């Protein structure tokens, strides 16, 4: 399908497919039919719609699938949406997206992948996103992953995020995978220069026999670099989660990582934090807590009139908010 530029969505597909697309888009990018800023929609391995702005350019890569997103320096408060949807069963889509953020720019980037698989073959999307922030740039990066469909074909997502922060820049990343993804390995890597800040908040919920593995690797190379990595997860049924975090303090720096998991049924959760101080001025903290929902929390909400099931839902929804 050819890329349409600066046009509204016009879809010749059947109504039901259009509905599926809209549902997937709304789950991963707060789609409301109107988009401000720049965007690029990828469906079943191909770009289907794109809009650029005066300050944000999107260019298709020539050597491999994917795009380069260029944000001009001093761009303020613009949005970049790059959703990916997969509705074809059996598709294995790999995409390389590079974000080049100019000096002192301040933008919000919303990415995500929604898979609808009603068939038997596995559908997979591996998004490799690299962020290159110039001096003083600020990015809020929101990434959502969602799977649906009644087929027994697996919905697999393996996102890789690499973040390179130059002096004085900040990247705040929020990632969530709340429903329907059978298998995921999420890798996040950060390389930080001086006076930079990398904040990651990850939310994962697994059910059935799903597997989720998250791997963080952060190198604090510049003075006063700091990172906060927070993972909140809920594992239910027979699902399995593994949280791995490696943080290296190579100079005067600060790091705080926190893994907090609620476990239910026969689920298993493993946390293997690793913090390495290679400098006497490095200040690194890790906290990990795994456990079932506290009985007293259920009792409190039940005294307010909720049934045990409703109380549990409230606690989990709050925890993953």
Report the interface residues with other proteins, using CB under 8 A: 232, 260, 294, 296-297, 299-308, 314-315, 317-321
| Token code pair at residue 164 | 């390179």
The three-state secondary structure class of 316 is: helix
Least separation in angstroms between residue 47's CB and other proteins is 37
Shorter beta-carbon distance to other proteins: residue 42 or 203 = 203
Locus of tokens 């990434």: 143
CA angle in degrees (0–180, nearest 5) for 3-7-10: 80
**CA–CA distance, 279 with 258 (Å, rounded to integer):** 22
Closest approach, Cβ 253 to other proteins, in A, equals 25
Reduced 3-state DSSP string for 212-268: EEEEEEEEECCCCEEEEEEEEEEECCCCEEEEEEEEEECCCEEEEEEEEEEECCCCE
Q: CB 178 → other proteins: shortest distance, Å?
A: 13
If one counts every other C-beta atom within 10 angstroms of the C-beta of residue 212, the result is 25
Q: Is 63 left (phi over 0), alpha (psi -120 to 50) or beta?
A: alpha
Minimum CB distance to other proteins, residue 321 (Å): 5
For the bound state, the minimum distance from the C-beta of residue 40 to other proteins, rounded and expressed in Å, comes to 33
**8 A C-beta contact, residue 84 and residue 112:** yes
Q: Which is nearer to other proteins, 33 or 305 (CB)?
A: 305
Length of the chain: 321
Minimum Å distance from CB 256 to other proteins?
Answer: 15
Comparison of 33 and 318: residue with beta carbon closer to other proteins: 318
Closer of 150 and 303 to other proteins (Cβ): 303
Q: Which is nearer to other proteins, 64 or 321 (CB)?
A: 321
Q: Which is nearer to other proteins, 19 or 317 (CB)?
A: 317
Residue written as token pair 């069963």: 89
- Minimum separation from the CB atom of position 1 to other proteins (A): 41
Q: Which is nearer to other proteins, 20 or 269 (CB)?
A: 269
Query: Which one, of 125, 73, 65, 51, lies nearest residue 98 by Cα?
Result: 65
């Amino acid at each position: 399908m050819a890329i349409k530029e600066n046009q509204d969505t016009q879809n010749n597909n059947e109504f039901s497919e259009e509905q599926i697309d809209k549902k997937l888009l709304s789950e991963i990018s707060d789609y409301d039919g109107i988009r401000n800023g720049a965007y690029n929609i990828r469906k079943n391995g191909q770009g289907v719609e794109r809009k650029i702005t005066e300050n944000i350019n999107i260019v298709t890569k020539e050597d491999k699938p994917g795009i380069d997103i260029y944000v001009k320096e001093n761009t303020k408060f613009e949005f970049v949406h790059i959703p990916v949807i997969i509705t074809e069963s059996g598709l294995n889509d790999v995409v390389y997206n590079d974000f080049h953020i100019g000096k002192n720019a301040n933008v919000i980037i919303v990415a995500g992948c929604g898979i609808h698989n009603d068939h038997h073959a596995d559908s997979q999307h591996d998004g490799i996103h690299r962020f290159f922030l110039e001096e003083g740039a600020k990015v809020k990066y929101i990434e959502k992953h969602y799977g649906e469909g009644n087929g027994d074909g697996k919905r697999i997502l393996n996102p890789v995020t690499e973040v390179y922060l130059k002096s004085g820049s900040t990247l705040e990343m929020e990632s969530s995978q709340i429903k329907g993804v059978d298998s995921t390995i999420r890798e996040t890597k950060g390389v930080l220069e001086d006076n930079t800040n990398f904040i990651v908040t990850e939310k994962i919920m697994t059910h059935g026999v799903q597997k989720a593995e998250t791997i963080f690797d952060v190198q604090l190379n510049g003075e006063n670099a700091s990172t906060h990595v927070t993972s909140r997860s809920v594992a239910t049924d027979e699902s399995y989660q593994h949280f791995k975090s490696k943080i290296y303090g190579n100079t005067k720096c600060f790091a705080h990582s926190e893994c907090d998991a609620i476990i239910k049924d026969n689920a298993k959760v493993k946390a293997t934090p690793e913090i390495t101080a290679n400098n006497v001025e490095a200040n690194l903290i890790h906290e990990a807590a795994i456990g079932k929902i506290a009985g007293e929390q259920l009792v409190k909400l039940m005294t307010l009139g909720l049934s045990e099931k409703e109380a549990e839902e409230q606690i989990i929804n709050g925890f993953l908010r």
